[in-house]
Homo-oligomer: A and B are copies of this chain.
Amino acid sequence: MNTIGTDFRITLFGSSHGPVVGCTIDGCPPSMSLETGMIEEELILRRPQIGIGTARMERDHLEILSGVREGVTTGAPITITIANMDVDSSKYLRFRTVPRPGHADYPALMKYGESHDISGGGQFSGRMTAAMVAAGAVAKALLATVNVEVGAYTRSIGDVVDGEAHPFGQLVEERRVNAVRAASPETSKRMMKAILAAGEDNDSVGGTVQCECVGLPVGVGEPFFDSVEGEISKMIFSIPGVKGVEFGSGFEAARMKGSEHNDPYSVLEGRLITDTNHHGGVLGGITTGMPLVLRVAFKPTASIGQEQRSVDLGSMSETTLRIEGRHDPCIVPRAVVVVEAVVASVLADLCMRGGFLG
């Protein structure tokens, strides 16, 4: 369903080619400053960048319909809508009978039948992530009140991998200034090149996003089931195109020995820390006070300009289709702020549940 969260609860609505996408955020405490500009700033990071993005220009006109009075939250649910524009639904007609490979067309048509709104992907569209980013902006504002900060960046595009560690302050700064949301100007250029190359081939390319969170207190997370990793990954998999998520050492941990992987405890300025951070800031589903670190794998954009094999569902005969128009050859740069929004939303919820907020 379209609602997630316990104490900080988000309900999404809208579809790609309807009048709006939007969200209702329930549980946000009263008296918090919340300006339209704070949300717009986040939405800008999600917009396609000239040269590498889709041709669809979204101005992201947003409205706060409830829950905020004179720039301050009232304690009532906050509803935000973002208008859809520049919509041409006609070219989606064919996909009702010939589903696009890699898209949700086929299972969605089987589940929702004739009435499924396939235009622009309907409820399965990446457009829904604009509403997630709006909710994330509220979550970030809330976390900021207790000095918790979330920052993500593009860690890899195809074979271009940024394996370096980046100081948190620097990655947050840098990822706002380059179009691929990379953590350094050097990798930014190489990633840009990989994306443009894919686009020139009428192809697309995947990548990974790394997300970090600093300032979390010890003890966030509600095991057994509502662990930090479990709650985050549940929502992360709602982002279209995600194929995997890992925390700390992640899949690399499977190749390690316990003597390497265990992070020894030591004391720094009177505070307990771990010398390494293979655990990624969570043990037993609860934060340890070390930075939370996770990585998310995105598949290459499913919409590509090349001819692809599919099946006509009416006649159940094999056929081919070509998706027209320009498409993002890589969604990863735009997904960076979406991953941030998800992580912020989940942490806001878990911080509220644990009594660390509000």
For window 228-282 of A, CB contacts with B under 8 Å fall at 229-231, 233-238, 240, 242-251, 253-267, 270, 272, 274-275, 278-280
Which B residues are in CB contact (< 8 Å) with A3? Answer: 3, 9, 11, 26, 225
Indicate if A317 sits at the interface (CB-CB under 8 A).
Answer: yes
Interface check A168, CB cutoff 8 A: no
Cβ-based interface call for A185 (8 A): no
Q: Are A227 and B238 in contact (CB under 8 A)?
A: yes
**Contact status of A31 and B114, CB under 8 A, knowing A233-B230, A259-B306, A262-B302:** yes
Assess whether A136 is interfacial by the CB under 8 Å rule.
no
Q: Please tell me if A120 contacts chain B, counting CB pairs below 8 Å.
A: no
Interface string of A273-295 (1 = CB under 8 A from B): 01100111001111111000000
Asked if A325 is an interface residue, CB under 8 A from chain B, the answer is no
Does residue A87 face the partner (Cβ distance < 8 Å to B)? no
Stretch at the interface among A46-54, A139-147, A176-184, A201-209: A201-209
Q: Which B residue sits closest to A74, measured CB to CB?
A: B117
Question: Are A251 and B297 in contact (CB-based, < 8 A)?
Answer: yes
A206 in complex: contacting residue of B72, B253, B272, CB < 8 Å: B253
Q: How far is the CA of A115 from the CA of B70 in the complex (A)?
A: 10
A279 neighbours in B (Cβ, 8 Å): 102
Say whether A230 contacts B219, CB under 8 Å.
no
Q: When chains A and B are docked, how far (Å) is the Cα of A44 from the Cα of B104?
A: 39
The answer to whether B249 and A13 have CB atoms under 8 Å apart is no
Q: Please tell me if the beta carbons of B264 and A18 are within 8 angstroms of each other in the complex.
A: no
A22 interfacial by beta-carbon distance below 8 Å = yes
Tell whether A1 pairs with B225 under 8 Å between CB atoms, given A259-B304, A267-B318, A310-B264: yes
| A156–B253 CA distance with the chains assembled, in angstroms | 11
Question: How distant is A70 from chain B, measured CB to nearest CB, in Å?
Answer: 9
Contact partners of A38 in chain B: CB under 8 A: none
Give the distance to chain B from A24, nearest Cβ to Cβ, in Å.
Answer: 5
Quick one: CB contact mask for A64-98 with B, threshold 8 Å, 1 for yes? 01110100111111110100000000000000000
B248 touches A243 (CB 8 A): yes
Bound CA span A223–B122, Å: 12
Residue of B nearest to A81 (CB): B65
Q: B272, A219: Cβ atoms under 8 Å? A: no
Q: Report the separation of the CA atoms of residues A186 and B119 in the bound assembly, to the nearest whole angstrom.
A: 50
Which residues on the B side are within 8 Å of A245 (C-beta)? 233, 244-246
Chain B residues closer than 8 Å to A306, beta-carbon distance: 259
Which residues of A line the B interface, CB within 8 A? 1-4, 6-7, 9, 11-15, 18-22, 24, 26-27, 30-31, 63, 65-67, 69, 72-79, 81, 99, 101-104, 106-108, 110-117, 122-124, 128, 156, 158-159, 198, 201, 203-208, 218-219, 221-227, 229-231, 233-238, 240, 242-251, 253-267, 270, 272, 274-275, 278-280, 283-289, 297-304, 306, 308-311, 313, 316-318, 353-355, 358
Besides A1-B26, A13-B78, A76-B122, 17 more A-B contacts (Cβ < 8 Å) are A1-B9, A1-B27, A11-B24, A11-B26, A20-B66, A75-B115, A104-B284, A107-B219, A107-B286, A108-B284, A198-B257, A201-B257, A203-B257, A206-B253, A206-B261, A233-B245, A256-B299
30 A-B pairs within 8 Å (CB atoms) are namely: A2-B76, A6-B6, A11-B77, A13-B79, A15-B76, A24-B24, A65-B81, A69-B115, A72-B115, A74-B117, A74-B123, A76-B122, A101-B263, A102-B258, A102-B283, A103-B284, A104-B284, A107-B221, A208-B254, A224-B238, A229-B237, A230-B236, A237-B285, A249-B299, A251-B297, A257-B300, A258-B303, A265-B310, A267-B316, A272-B311
